[in-house]
Chain A
Amino acid sequence: MAMIDLDKMLEKVKATQWALADIDWDAPGAELVTKEQWPQLKDFMVDLMWIEHVGARGFAAMAKKAPTETLRQLYSYFHAEEQRHANAEMALMKRWGMLEGDELPEPNINIRLVIEWLDRYADGMPYYVLGTVIPMLEVALDGALCTFLLESVNDPVCHQAFEKINDDESRHLGVGFTVMEMQGHNKTSIQMVKMMAPMLDPRLLLGIASYLPLLNKMRDNVVKMGLPEEKLYAAMNKFKRIGGRTAEGRRNPWYQFIQHHGSIMVKRSNRFYHIPVDAAVKVTGLIPRRMLPAVPSWVKELTWQPTA
């Protein structure tokens, strides 16, 4: 992917906005979700929505650290757009009768841990760390999970919503890959080593410790739901291919790190990685909910209602 003009992209982002009210959430087609699909689809949607939401918080942190005003504005928009995706996915869940009253779906424990980490430490992380992690997650969402959802669900409203969501995501990816390349541009070896220095930061280590079990749990959830593993491999290959398309992109040490990790994460055969991370999933599952602090107020901003 060639580098894109970020100023033009900002204009495009501003010109292509949409609202939940643009979609008729009561239109016919909800019955096309089958009874067999319903329970697993509900779990899938809950995970998807929460991932969008934590992605939104990631963009909020990047907006604080953005090196230029254009990027700051882009990330501010992306923050809100990811929130819109989570809102739209909740509206779909409402349509399919998956929400109980006005309550937010309960996030799983690993999501809760990531939310806690984001709330406390994300704003302090270097820009290039989140700038590489987020495109990887978006490729997984865009390339594997959403495609799979559209293949399995025939509801036209779901397709209408995801058409808009995918358009947004493609712009996020365009910017994400451009920024990854910018981070690798003209980097000397010393600078590259410096970029990896945050790996010694306990806050980042804590973040990794909450992030890895989440990925494993999500991976297993979607596979259980019927997502072919090949789709995950393809998504990680896409990340590797586009991110490493230019020398600048390949020179970004975080790209190298994340893409290696992505390949390992999707392949169940790597026992050295999966045995300890699966153990972490089990251990985190034992954490009593009451030990966790109250959810931060940004989580309560989520809503399925198109108007307020």
Chain B
Amino acid sequence: MTDTPRKTARSSAAAKKPATRKVATGKATARTAADRKTVSARRDAPAAIVTHKPAAVLIVGAGFAGLGMAIRLQQAGVTDIIILERGTDVGGTWRDNQYPGAACDIPSNLYSYSFAQNPNWSRSFSGSREILGYIHHLVKEFGLERYIRFGKNVQELKFDEKKGLWSATTAEGEVFSGRAAVMAQGPLSNASFPDMPGINEYKGHKIHSARWDHSYDFRGKKVAVIGTGASAIQIIPELVKEVEHLTVFQRTPGWVMPRPDFETPEWNKEIFRKLPFTQSALRQALYLAHESMALAVIWSSPLTRVAERVGRWHLHNQVKDRWMRRQLTPNYRIGCKRVLISNDYYPALQKPNCKLITWPIYTLCENGIRTVEGIEHQFDCIVFATGFEVSKAGTPFPVTGVGGRQLNDEWSRGAQAYKSINVAGYPNLFMTFGPNSGPGHNSALVYMESQLDYAVRGIQKILGENLKMLDVKPHVQKQYNEGIQKRLAKTNWNSGCMSWYLTEDGFNATMYPGFATQYANQMKEFREKDYLVVPG
């Protein structure tokens, strides 16, 4: 698991399907009396519309972003918050991605909130269970249970310009509303099987990496993994230990870098506990080290060549067979796609019970996968590590703004926002991981913190000055995006490879073309003159 969202399949049609989720059984969470009432009301009359009292802030999603938003709002004195979560547990990405080997590829000391540091990380790169544990700890530490409404799958967000209220309608027909709304549903939270020919004909077991089937016994099975992205390279080394035979189907090889992963000794944790500034210092050092990687990953520079050399050295060092090295050598510039980090992926591929296949897949069939070299590869189980569905529109549910405008329509040729967080025509709405906010080189949570603090400032203004609308001016948004696209043209992401960062037309609505420090600086400043203000 990476710290930033990943995706491979692009399907606007698929995105329209209501997403189904298998969720990890989490600890019991408190529900409000209102919720219990709603549930019982629903049992009696499922179609009845239940409208709840408006809150100050409505947050969609209880993952890192939604919970972080609630913490920052709470710290700023805003406590009238409702968080709508479609699952039965918090954690979002880290709750869903529980496949074997799932871990973050950013050091945990950097992949955590600076305002809630954890001295107890067991390793430099923690696994998904430990990260989920950290998220549970945040909920407990900051008393966030009271805000969360579980099992509320938002189907629509709509702005009422007369009242200056955002309302969210759930799948059950309940309506929640808030003066301000925060879309923290995660940019890539919907996972489904890819649209591959013959996928429905396959009669064996199918597992998606983001919806792992923990009940399936892999022992003695012939298993395929489709995909060699960030999830796959973590799954493969674990699966190969269990299965009888593993076949890995690769379309495009990624750049794989060594992973400096160490266990944190007890004395080190003790120092962090007793002298928290030492952990902050380490965090700062890690931050700067990652910032320097931008020079290699985001833009083409001499450091890019150095990084590629390190990648090739890693490959050469771990893979002895010339043909296999050729199969695993990327033919695009490093950084153009997500850079992968692993020490055990290449060795796993060379295990006697593992085989790498690079022939194109042309169809799935009843018993397995047919590739173009004419062979039918038969399996008991196929693991799809094929990423997430991404709608071209970029919104997982309809979002209706001023005058009935639809965000899906406006974003049909690529998503755009102002500073990734506000969109003109959708007042009082804040997005986490909105358009062009993705990092390629640093912790997503660093970016997220800047977004949360910006949103707090906007929300404080709305609530403090009792505004009906705080809406970014269209020309400001346009000007901002022209600048972003101009800068993106010079980056490695736009250097010619096909990646999920780009739409089918080659438009990059995903990544931020700069250092995390630049992003944080732009988010530090809340320029009121960029907004249209309508008093309440």
Contact = CB atoms under 8 A, between A and B. Distances in A.
Given A19-B370, A308-B376, A80 B359 contact: yes
B354 to A, nearest CB: 14
Contact of B324 (A19, A297, A306, A307): A297
Contacts of A123: 326
Contacts of B367: 307
Contacts of B360: 76-77, 80
B321 A20 contact: no
B274 interface: no
A83 interface: yes
A173 interface: no
Contact of A87 (B324, B368, B374): B374
B376 A306 contact: yes
B323 A19 contact: no
Nearest to B371: A80
A19 B374 contact: yes
B362 A307 contact: no
B31 interface: no
A20 B372 CA distance: 10
A285 interface: no
A21 B371 contact: no
Interface in A267-308: 296-298, 301, 303, 305-308
Contact of A84 (B321, B324, B372, B498): B372
B353 to A, nearest CB: 14
B375 A307 contact: yes
Chain A at the B interface: SS class = helix
A88 B322 CA distance: 26
Contact of B375 (A76, A119, A305): A305
Nearest to B372: A80
Contacts of A81: 372-373
B323 A18 contact: no
A308 B245 CA distance: 11
Nearest to A91: B374
A171 to B, nearest CB: 13
Give the most central of B359, B363, B373: most A CB within 10 Å. Answer: B373
A307 B376 contact: yes
Interface in B221-246: none
Interface string B288-332: 000000000000000000000000000000000111101000010
Given A21-B370, A69-B498, A308 B375 contact: yes
Interface string A1-42: 000000000000010011111000000000000000000000
Contacts of A80: 359-360, 371-373
Interface string A67-102: 001000000110011011001100000000000000
B375 A19 contact: yes
Q: Give the bracket for the number of chain B residues in contact with chain A.
A: 20 to 34
Nearest to A76: B360
Contacts of A119: 322-323
B377 interface: yes
A159 interface: no
B11 interface: no
B374 A296 contact: no
Contacts, number: 63
B118 interface: no
| Interface SS, B side | mixed
Contacts of A19: 370, 374-376
A20 B498 CA distance: 31
Contacts of A17: 362-363, 370, 372
B373 A87 contact: yes
A197 B375 CA distance: 40
Contacts of A298: 323
B378 interface: yes
Contact of B378 (A76, A83, A301, A307): A307
A64 interface: yes
Nearest to A297: B323
A20 B378 contact: no
B370 A296 contact: no
Nearest to B375: A308
A64 B374 contact: no
A64 B370 CA distance: 23
Given A80-B359, A83-B359, A306 B374 contact: yes
B200 to A, nearest CB: 18
A87 B372 contact: no
Contacts of B326: 123
A224 B498 CA distance: 50
B411 to A, nearest CB: 25
B174 to A, nearest CB: 46
Interface string A199-222: 000000000000000000000000
Contacts of B377: 307-308
Nearest to A23: B374
26 contacts: A17-B363, A17-B372, A19-B370, A19-B376, A20-B374, A64-B331, A80-B359, A80-B360, A81-B372, A81-B373, A83-B359, A83-B374, A84-B373, A84-B374, A87-B373, A87-B375, A123-B326, A296-B322, A297-B322, A297-B323, A298-B323, A306-B375, A307-B375, A307-B376, A308-B376, A308-B378
Interface of B: 321-324, 326, 331, 359-360, 362-363, 367-368, 370-378, 498
Nearest first, the 7 A-B pairs at minimum CB distance are A84-B374, A80-B372, A17-B362, A83-B373, A20-B374, A80-B359, A80-B373
Given A64-B331, A306-B374, 20 more contacts: A14-B362, A17-B363, A20-B374, A20-B375, A21-B370, A69-B498, A77-B360, A80-B372, A84-B374, A87-B373, A119-B323, A296-B322, A297-B323, A306-B375, A307-B368, A307-B375, A307-B377, A308-B375, A308-B376, A308-B377
